[in-house]
């Protein structure tokens, strides 16, 4: 007979090929949540298979549907839908009522994810001087122009505004095929637009804006929090450091080696620098002057999208004439 090694309980339980993991846990009075009574509908009996995934029975249709909906990786299984053909080690995941509440919410938000993304961190420098030296209307006018400009570039290259807090903006690039190239094109477009905006601001008697940007590419953990999500991972910290180093060096835009290498043949490098990193030595960084490849074709809106916008225009027509 096969053995089910159960964590965090540290129990070794015999399991028949006709039994589900949930049945074995219940028979041995191991506390396991099962809100839908083993019908494959709630996911509260979920477990992580730490060893022997290949000796677990394939997902049932119900489990397949739930796993797809919640974005479960292969080793997260529903114990009520899973049997074994040999020794398996599992860990219970839903321990108490709070875990049940979180599992319930995940039907709307998913469980979060860990994947490679490009991160663009930008900081509007001299923000506090700017606040003190301007009347509220002036500050709003200038900041509205600035954020409009940033949003236009981010939208154009399919980035996602992750946070805009104080003078710092974080943008993620995980939608387009090549996040690195999109992040770099966004940063170059913003730098270019900022030059024009600064000319306008000077003509209007405002001080020009100073912006620094850092881009890095690496794995990030995104966990749902309320309507939003929290972002964690070294890649974010490193992009922040690169942005701060750009400010130290009076450079507008720096990218890491991880961003530069795949794009090396497409970039015009103005300077190569090395940023000291505690424990790691020195990190090569690149100041990029331009990209020498043509812009990707903009994606045309789909036919249903165009139909929808056409219908909206007709619906707005009488309102506009009043």
Binding site for ligand FES (CB under 6 A): 34-36, 38-45, 78, 80
What is d(CA 274, CA 289) in angstroms, rounded to the nearest whole number?
17
The residue among 42 and 197 lying less far from ligand FES, judged by its C-beta, is 42
Q: Which of 19, 32, 21, 108 is nearest to 71 (CA)?
A: 108
Sign, Cα dihedral of 126, 132, 134, 137: positive
- Separation CA 48–CA 84 (nearest Å): 14
Is the preceding omega at residue 8 within 30 degrees of 0, hence cis? yes
Residue 55 CB, shortest distance to ligand FES, in Å, is 20
Of the pair 34, 91, the CB lying nearest ligand FES is at 34
Nearest distance, CB of residue 25 and ligand FES, angstroms = 11
CB of 138: closest distance to ligand FES in angstroms?
58
- We find the least distance from the C-beta atom of residue 71 to ligand FES, in angstroms, to be 16
CB closer to ligand FES, 20 vs 256 = 20
**How near is the Cβ of 270 to ligand FES at its closest, in Å?**
56
Rounded Cα–Cα distance for residues 94 and 22 (Å): 13
d(CA 31, CA 146): 55
Q: Can you tell me which residue has the tokens 């007979």?
A: 1
* Min dist. Cβ of residue 59 to ligand FES (A): 12
Place of tokens 């100073």: 210
Which secondary-structure segment (H or E) carries 240? helix 234-248
Return the number of the residue (62 or 168) whose C-beta is nearest ligand FES.
62
* Residue (59 or 217) nearer to ligand FES, CB: 59
Nearer to ligand FES, 110 or 237 (CB): 110
Tokens of 308: 């929808």
């Amino acid at each position: 007979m096969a053995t089910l090694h159960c964590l965090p309980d540290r129990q070794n339980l015999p399991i028949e090929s006709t039994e589900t993991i949930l049945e074995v846990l219940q028979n041995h009075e191991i506390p396991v949540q099962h809100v839908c009574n083993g019908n494959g509908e709630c996911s509260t009996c979920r477990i992580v298979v730490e060893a022997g995934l290949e000796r677990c029975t394939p997902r049932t249709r119900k489990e397949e549907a739930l796993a797809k909906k919640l974005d479960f990786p292969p080793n997260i299984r529903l114990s009520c839908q899973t049997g074994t053909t040999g020794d398996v080690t599992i860990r219970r995941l839903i321990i108490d009522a709070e875990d049940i509440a979180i599992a319930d919410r995940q039907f709307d938000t998913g469980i979060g994810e860990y994947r490679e993304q490009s991160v663009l961190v930008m900081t509007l420098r001299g923000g506090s001087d700017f606040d003190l030296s301007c009347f509220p209307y002036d500050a709003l006018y200038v900041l509205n122009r600035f954020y409009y400009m940033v949003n236009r570039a981010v939208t154009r290259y399919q980035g996602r505004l992750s946070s805009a807090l104080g003078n710092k903006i974080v943008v993620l690039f995980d939608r387009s095929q090549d996040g690195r190239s999109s992040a770099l094109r966004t940063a170059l477009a913003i730098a270019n637009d900022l030059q024009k905006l600064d000319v306008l601001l000077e003509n209007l008697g405002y001080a020009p804006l100073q912006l620094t940007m850092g881009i890095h590419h690496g794995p990030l953990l995104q966990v749902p929090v309320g309507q939003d999500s929290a972002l964690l991972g070294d890649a974010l910290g490193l992009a922040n450091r690169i942005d701060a180093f750009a400010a130290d060096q009076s450079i507008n835009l720096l990218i890491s080696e991880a961003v530069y290498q795949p794009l090396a043949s497409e970039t015009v490098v103005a300077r190569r620098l090395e940023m000291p990193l505690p424990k790691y030595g020195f990190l090569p960084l690149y100041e990029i002057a331009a990209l020498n490849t043509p812009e990707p074709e903009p994606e045309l809106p789909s036919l249903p999208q165009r139909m929808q916008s056409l219908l909206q225009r007709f619906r707005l027509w009488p309102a506009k004439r009043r």
